[in-house]
């Protein structure tokens, strides 16, 4: 996982590139979750945010979204798909309004 953050007022910007290691991510249905980051103590999203990400998932370039809810930043599948442990990657950027 490689990521960069910026805090502008009460808005957190997170850009990331994640490579899948060790095991495939097999999402058996849409909206399955794989956590990638956690907000630092004391920071919480004001509301749930979703943003499209790009990946080489089995259903194509836009098979994954990034989601922030409360303290968790996670990847969510947009359908039944796999991100392979051998060269699977996801990258994206999300803006999070903070409480």
CA distance 43 to 45: 7
Q: How many domains does the chain fold into?
A: 1
What are the strands of the beta sheet with 54-55, ordered from one edge? Answer: 2-8, 11-19, 89-97, 54-55
- pTM equals 0.89
Q: What is the CATH number of the domain that holds 39?
A: 2.60.40
- Domain that includes residue 53, residue range: 2-97
Q: How do residues 6-59 score in pLDDT, each as one tens digit?
A: 999 999 999 999 999 999 999 999 999 999 999 999 999 999 999 999 999 999
- Closest Cα partner for 59 from 36, 93, 84? 84
């Amino acid at each position: 996982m490689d990521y960069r953050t910026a805090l502008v007022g009460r808005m957190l910007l997170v850009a990331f590139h994640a490579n899948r290691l060790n095991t495939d991510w097999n999402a058996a249905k849409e909206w399955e979750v794989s956590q990638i980051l956690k907000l630092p103590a004391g920071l919480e999203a004001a509301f749930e945010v979703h943003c499209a990400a790009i990946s080489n998932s089995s259903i194509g370039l836009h098979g994954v979204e990034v989601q922030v809810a409360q303290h968790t930043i996670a990847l969510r599948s947009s359908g039944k798909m796999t991100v392979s442990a051998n060269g699977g990657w996801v990258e994206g950027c999300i803006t999070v309004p903070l409480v």
